[in-house]
Structure 1
Amino acid sequence: MRWEGNRESENIEDRRGNAGGYGGMLGGRSIGLGTVAIALVASYFLGVSPMTVLSLLTGGSSGTSVSQQTSAQQPSASDQMTRFVSTVLADTEDTWTAIFSQQGGTYVKPRLVLFSGSTPTACGAGQSAMGPFYCPGDQRIYIDLSFYRLMQQRFNVSGEFAQAYVIAHEVGHHVQHLMGITDKVHAARRSTSEAQGNALSVRLELQADCFAGVWAHHANRARNILEAGDVESALNAASAIGDDALQRQAQGHVVPDSFTHGTSAQRVRWFTQGIKSGQVTACNTFDAKQL
């Protein structure tokens, strides 16, 4: 992936080295280590987002506050991985700013938080074991960069564009939040069965995959960022983190009704849809008869 020399984003918070703790509040209720542990176990074996489990366990919602504040610092200019993440974030900013502007809207840029171990968020206590996630409550993307090492060691997925895909997917969730899609899905889930709620979550996640593809399409046209093998590495990443692949690895069998992110084939299909079309309208997973 060609990224060296491109613009870096200023919307980076570096909390690495700070003691984040677990003093967060979700829905006005404190979260303890035991609750976090339950959420992590459930997320690993059931394929459910840890933040979703935490919300269910505490009766919370996304619009929350945290009881502990963490100071941020500017990342070191010599930190290669931080520079890469900052550059990818800047690229998504440029792409989505242009797309929103074309539709007569204004793109509000998210902040990306680098942390190690744990950190408080407006969605509760964030932990590195959760993997990268987006919190609509504070419009921040959270990532422990050790996740990229895990991608390579656990899923045998490597390559800078695969790493960029992870960030672009979380930015896709931010786009959904700005468009009001996230709130509608969360509202709909409250009045449906668990299986139906999971199905809605799948469509939300697949749309974020498609939005990641839309970013890649426009970024490559504008800045020629793609090199040979880049798209394949991103598709490998999408395939590796499909619900069926993760559940099969964790428990030896799959439970489709518990899927919350989509199968490997579905994630690949929707990312491909986005990168080929470059159209936000092509990512309407909620009206799609077949995912």
Structure 2
Amino acid sequence: MKWTNDRADNVDDRRGSGGGGMLVGGGLGTLIIAAIIFFLGGDPSAILSNGVGNAPQTEQRELTAEELQVKEFVRMLSAENNQTWTKIFSENGMQYREPKIVLFENVTQSGCGTAQAAMGPFYCPADETVYMDMSFFGEMQQKFGARVTEFTVAYVLAHEIGHHIQTILGTTQQVDKMRRSGQYSEGEMNRASVATELQADFYAGLWAKQTDNREKFLDPQDIQSAMEAAAAVGDDNIQKRTAGYVNQEAFTHGSSKQRVEWFMKGYNSGDITQGNTFDQLFR
């Protein structure tokens, strides 16, 4: 993909600033924690807490030239997300507000509680911030078989910002209201979670299309790498690699096929009104 000249000022780089903080605790069990570790974009509010015990302190250090380059790349991606979504919202008579992006290593504090690298990138609706430990992309390649490129990072960030779009539009709040009502079964809430995640994939594809229309920043192989990344973090692929079998009733993010399909629907349509994932899953 081609770098543009735009840079956003909403990126908070906490890497190298020293670590430390409260670890997740509370005896929630390894299965729940593993789900957050292995599922891209999981909702951390279900397991994050003040916990018990302190994480080890790390000394402050200077960022390497490569790390500074990563920051510039994320600033560029953030700027392109902000410009594209501002345009889309304006065209639909709405007002967009920019999320914050936090880069961290090991552990940091978020509006949803303590963030740890093992959780992978996530969006916290409480402070409207995307949290990313860049070591996740090495894990993505080693554990899930994804070919990591620059556009893989772009896809993941766009997916998390997709959750921010859902918060602005009220989708996040509606799903949370369903969860808190106690009126829905575990299976129904899993389907709601799948719909939420597939919609974020749709928004990522929509962003890619609209931004390429404006900037012509995509190379021919970029969309292929995004589809490979989406497939790698499908529930069925993750379950096969971690448990050795597939349990569709336990899906919370969608199958590899579904994730690719909804990303491509967003990319091919370029139309925000085509992203109703809830209708198909709740018929």
**Residue by residue, what CA displacement relative to the aligned partner does 1:210-267 show, whole Å, maximum 9, x if unpaired?**
0001100100000001112111000000000000100110000011111110000000
Partner of 1:115: 104
CA distance in 1, matches of 2:14, 2:187: 37
Deviation (angstroms), 1:6 = 2.1
- The verdict on how the C-alpha distance between 1:181 and 1:10 changes in structure 2, with shifts beyond 3 A counting, is same
> Contact 1:211 / 1:274 at 8 angstroms: preserved in 2?
yes
Among residues 208, 212, 217, which one is paired with 2:204 in the alignment? Answer: 212
The amino acid across from 2:69 in the alignment is Q
The answer on 1:278 being equivalent to 2:277 is: no
SS in 1 for 2:231: helix
**Structure 1 spans left out of the alignment, 5+ residues:** 25-30, 59-74
- The verdict on how the C-alpha distance between 1:268 and 1:44 changes in structure 2, with shifts beyond 3 A counting, is same
CA distance in 2, matches of 1:80, 1:46: 27
- The verdict on how the C-alpha distance between 1:48 and 1:114 changes in structure 2, with shifts beyond 3 A counting, is closer
SS in 2 for 1:287: helix
SS in 1 for 2:278: coil
Residues 82-93 of structure 1 mapped to structure 2, 5 A cutoff: 82-93=71-82
- The verdict on how the C-alpha distance between 1:42 and 1:76 changes in structure 2, with shifts beyond 3 A counting, is closer
Partner of 2:60: none
Among residues 106, 112, 134, which one is paired with 2:95 in the alignment? Answer: 106
SS in 1 for 2:280: coil
CA distance in 1, matches of 2:241, 2:155: 22
CA distance in 2, matches of 1:212, 1:218: 10
SS in 1 for 2:2: coil
SS in 2 for 1:286: helix
**Residue by residue, what CA displacement relative to the aligned partner does 1:110-168 show, whole Å, maximum 9, x if unpaired?**
01000000111111111111100000000000000111222233323221112100000
Among residues 257, 266, 275, which one is paired with 2:249 in the alignment? Answer: 257
The amino acid across from 1:87 in the alignment is M
Partner of 2:57: none
Partner of 1:2: 2
What TM-score, normalized to structure 2? 0.86
Percent of paired sites with the same residue: 42
CA distance in 1, matches of 2:44, 2:275: 24
CA distance in 1, matches of 2:265, 2:256: 14
- The verdict on how the C-alpha distance between 1:7 and 1:33 changes in structure 2, with shifts beyond 3 A counting, is farther
SS in 2 for 1:227: coil
CA distance in 2, matches of 1:148, 1:221: 27
The answer on 1:229 being equivalent to 2:221 is: yes
Partner of 1:130: 119
